Amino acid sequence: MRLSEGLAFLSVLPAALAARPFLNEPDTAIEEVLGDTPEGTLPDLESMLGLPDFEWAAKRYLNASSYTYYRNGAAGEWSYRNNLEVYGRFRFRPRVMVDITQIEKTLPTTILGHNFSAPFYISPCASAGLAHPDAEANFVKAAYEENILYIPALLATLSMDEIAAAKPEDGSQVLFQQAYLNSNDTATQQVFDDAERLGAKAIVWTIDSPADGNRHRANRYGVGSSDSDYTLSTWEFYAKLQNMTTLPIVLKGIQHVEDVKLAIKHGVPAIILSNHGGRQLDSSPSSLEVALEVYQEDPDLFNQIEIYADGGIRYGADVLKLLSLGVKAVGLGRSFMYANAYGAEGVRHAIQLLKHEIAIDAANLGVPDLKKIDASYVKWANNGWFT
């Protein structure tokens, strides 16, 4: 092949890859090995070898509407798809001959000053009761046992009081509280007061759904968005909210580097890069793309505010790519919702699997200390998508 022909081939490669068939769950032989599991039953928990396995199992176990509630995306679901596929577009740059034998000891991190065993958390997701009768209590228990953060959703199956009651009596477990907030000051004050009374350590205000989500798949099953109003969310309103609670208010749903800068300017303690799991605005960017935009604009922005990210994370390698840019912790929602079909033990198993993957992937990448991972471990430029 002549050089000119090779360059021509490379120029169309991104489009060719984008057009390839989409695999919601990768083909890792799970169908061949577990495909004879009867519909409506779950395979043995020990046969779940990675986070995508839980979705495969949940899809066969849950009824169609319950599965759709967890699975759905906005419109043509291109952002949902991109959330999953974007991580595969960037290649690692592994280093060798490095002492990685202590990598597991470096997984612990802090989130808003609270100590946790790993740099990931259970994101707020509504209606956990669709997968298991114990609903969000399973997340509380598993998060406590594995010492990771759980952020209950305001629109949970269980009430805020019921979720708090699932915590250990010694008060040692740290939970944040997610909320949708609007101009109804009475309702907002009640959420804040309840969160403080029940021991939440922060409010996570979801700001990426100011209008109803355009969810075709979900609406066919009657399980569309519960937050369907046009909602006020401005920096002036945020300043007002800060005076209504003693808790730090984290902003969830940042998708533009300029909003990162404004968050810093307005004294926001932490932000979450997120496009609502691809369920609000189709063609919205993945959190990895936003994190890369922030890094390209100014890597020091990650030092000026705690930045977390969620969306499409399924593997330890995905976590490492976000951490390498400066993201402090990553959130996962759907995978834990699917794992909840097995109850608290399923959620705990999923947490353990991801911890293990992060450690072994970091070791194979040649990272001796997870705190020292940086952008040099990934080839970010000249891949056909970013320059």
Q: Is 333 annotated as a binding residue?
A: yes
| 334 labelled binding-site residue | yes
Q: Is 172 annotated as a binding residue?
A: no
Q: From the DSSP assignment, how many helices (H) and strands (E) are in the chain?
A: 16, 12
- 348 assigned to a ligand binding site: no
Q: Is 297 within 8 Å of 326 (Cβ atoms)?
A: no
Is 276 catalytic? The answer is: yes
The span from the CA of 159 to the CA of 149, in Å, is 19
Tokens of 259: 């909003």
Q: Is 255 one of the annotated binding-site residues?
A: no
Q: Is 2 annotated as a binding residue?
A: no
- For residues 168 and 145, give the distance between their C-alpha atoms in angstroms, rounded to a whole number: 10
Residue 276 in marked binding region: yes
CA–CA distance, 101 with 376 (Å, rounded to integer)? 21
Does the annotation list 126 as a binding residue? yes
Residue for token pair 């009657």: 222
What is the Cα–Cα distance from 230 to 49, expressed in whole angstroms?
A: 42
What CA–CA distance (Å, rounded) separates 66 from 215? Answer: 15
206 annotated as a binding-site residue? yes
* SS3 call for 116: strand
313 is in an annotated binding site: yes
Residue 279 counted as an annotated binding residue: yes
Catalytic entry in 114, 216, 276, 356: 276
- Compute the distance between CA of residue 384 and CA of residue 369 in angstroms, rounded to an integer: 30
Is 220 annotated for ligand binding?
no
Separation of alpha carbons 253 and 68, rounded Å: 22
**Binding-site residue set for FMN:** 124-126, 178, 206, 252, 274, 310-314, 333-334
**Binding-site residue set:** 69, 124-126, 178, 180, 206, 215, 252, 274, 276, 279, 310-314, 333-334
**Binding-site residue set for glyoxylate:** 69, 180, 215, 276, 279
The catalytic site residues sit at 276
